[in-house]
Amino acid sequence: MKSVLLATASVALLGMATLAHADTTIELQRFFGACDADYGTNTDVASAVGECGIITSLVNKFEADNPGIKVNVTTVEWPGYNQLNAQLASNAAPDVVSMHYTAISDYQSRGLLIPLDDLLASQGIKPDDFTDAARGGSTKEGKMFALPFDNWAMLFHVNLNLMKEAGLVKEDGTPILPSSVDEFFAQGKQFKEKTGKPYLVQVYANETAAYTRMFYTTMMQQKYDFFADPKKIDLSGPEAKAALEFMKKTHDDGLSSLGMDYTAAVSGFSSGKGGIAVNGTWLIGDYDAQSKEEGNALSGGYTVYPVPQFFAAKNATYVDGHGWVIPRGDRDDEKMAAIGKLFKFLKDNDFEWARTGHLPAVKSVFDMPEFKALPHRDNIAPISVIGQSLPPEVMRQFAIQDIIGEEVGAAVNGDKSIDDAIERIETRVNDLLGNI
């Protein structure tokens, strides 16, 4: 009888534990788009393509492997920080949020993110597991405030079919790309004359980030340390004017698509409306998949490279990255343990995420034969060496990106002079940093 009672009690306790575990829900908020129609129930991560497809399938696979944990996903329009700000203000923040490394300091400095060192350690995750760039982007004041997920950069996505039409393909089938400002304008003019289309497809409408990223890259290539003092931006040298003159002449000479927002630019390149898309690593998977299909503008004719070195001083390109953060809030031990399991799963599957084109955050992925076999990785491998971010001591990097993008965009589109734009960048950025 005693044995029966003990057995009955054990079953009851087990049932209660299972029920409690089954009630564990992680509220996860992310960008990366929505694609439930294609991947809403997919758990075969290897079959997924693109940012949205892969992250959706990863979450589905995690739920399948951990039946007691539910991940409730909310997809926000990029970058989603206005929504997060409102949620934090009302004490209703999600449990896990996708965040750019450049945005972490905005929240960490205000005590709005929790440090993750203990949580990661509980899952056997060590800071040394990650690349220097990924760990550096996630670490503030000696503590990790994000699970690193990747590093990314802007790239030259090349339509080889149009480049061949323009006479800008070598005998070995690789594109002829510029190695100086003068070569850029000469090749851009040749492309436009031969094809009747713009040389570049760029995001020029309803966007600030694209302007800022190109501005940072051209400044870094001139080896100008515009944040030598992390508390103040300095654009007094001739390098800032040279960068803006380069970007404006690209616009004025008709070498870039005009008036395209992000969606239009992505689809515009896919449909052959220009030769080179200046866009991120995250599009490699989608564009490569398209090139393997028949009957479209990229069929058998796609490749990708880092943004060329326009300025001779230094081969550099601006990089950022994505991580997963936990906003401030009340969570019990069971919830935190579930989040820890999710983070370990994402870390262990960093190769799958790297198939998007992003550079892995986990060092060991670079040595995997599967990663080395991915298309175009040899072409973009130099980014791991030439990639450069703003100094980590610079605060409010995401807000600064918006300010610079607004002013650079105004100068490029002729709404204000280059000198006025530079002056306004300095004034606005330094006012922002002076009030922290």
Q: What is the pLDDT of residues 124-162, one digit of tens each?
A: 999 999 998 899 889 988 999 999 999 999 999 999 999
Query: Mean pLDDT over residues 342-354, rounded?
Result: 98
**What percentage of residues in the chain have a pLDDT greater than 70?**
95
Q: Coil, strand or helix: which one is 303?
A: strand
Q: What is the pLDDT of residues 183-225, one digit of tens each?
A: 999 999 999 999 999 999 999 999 899 999 999 999 999 999 9
Cα torsion angle, 144, 59, 285, 103, sign: negative
Topology of the domain covering 24-148+322-357: D-Maltodextrin-Binding Protein; domain 2 (3.40.190)
* pLDDT band per the 50, 70, 90 thresholds, residue 16: very low
* pLDDT band per the 50, 70, 90 thresholds, residue 13: very low
Q: Is the pLDDT of residue 120 over 50?
A: yes
Query: Mean pLDDT over residues 53-80, rounded?
Result: 96
Alpha-carbon gap, residue 436 to 434, rounded angstroms = 6
Q: Is the pLDDT of residue 232 over 80?
A: yes
Q: Is the pLDDT of residue 374 over 60?
A: yes
pTM of structure: 0.85
Q: Which residue has the higher pLDDT, 98 or 22?
A: 98
Q: Which residue has the higher pLDDT, 109 or 242?
A: 242
Query: Mean pLDDT over residues 365-377, rounded?
Result: 94
DSSP strand pairing (24-30 vs 359-360)? unpaired
CB-based contact 356:282 (threshold 8 Å): yes
Alpha-carbon gap, residue 292 to 156, rounded angstroms = 19
Q: What distances in angstroms separate CA 25 from CA 13, 41, 96, 339, 363, one per listed residue?
A: 21, 18, 11, 9, 30
Write out the DSSP string of 108-158: HTTT-B---HHHHHHTT--GGGB-HHHHHHHEETTEE-SEE-EEEEEEEEE
Alpha-carbon gap, residue 159 to 148, rounded angstroms = 32
Q: Is the pLDDT of residue 2 over 90?
A: no
Tokens of 426: 């300095």
Query: Mean pLDDT over residues 64-72, rounded?
Result: 96
* pLDDT band per the 50, 70, 90 thresholds, residue 19: very low
* pLDDT band per the 50, 70, 90 thresholds, residue 122: very high
The average confidence (pLDDT) of the chain is 93
Q: Which residues of 41-61 are buried (b: 16+ CB within 10 A; e: fewer)?
A: ebbebeebbbbbbbbbbbbbb
Residue 393 has what pLDDT? 86
Q: Is the pLDDT of residue 175 over 60?
A: yes
Residue 111 has what pLDDT? 95
Q: What is the pLDDT of residues 299-334, one digit of tens each?
A: 999 999 999 999 999 999 999 999 999 999 999 999
Q: Coil, strand or helix: which one is 329?
A: coil
Q: Is the pLDDT of residue 117 over 70?
A: yes
Same fold, 24-148+322-357 and 153-319+387-434: yes
**What percentage of residues in the chain have a pLDDT greater than 90?**
87
Q: Is the pLDDT of residue 3 over 60?
A: no
Q: Is the pLDDT of residue 380 over 60?
A: yes
Residue 436 has what pLDDT? 78
Q: Which residue has the higher pLDDT, 105 or 160?
A: 160
Alpha-carbon gap, residue 133 to 151, rounded angstroms = 7
Q: Coil, strand or helix: which one is 231?
A: coil
Residue 7 has what pLDDT? 40
Provide the residue ranges of all domains of the chain, joining segments of one domain with +: 24-148+322-357, 153-319+387-434
Topology of the domain covering 153-319+387-434: D-Maltodextrin-Binding Protein; domain 2 (3.40.190)
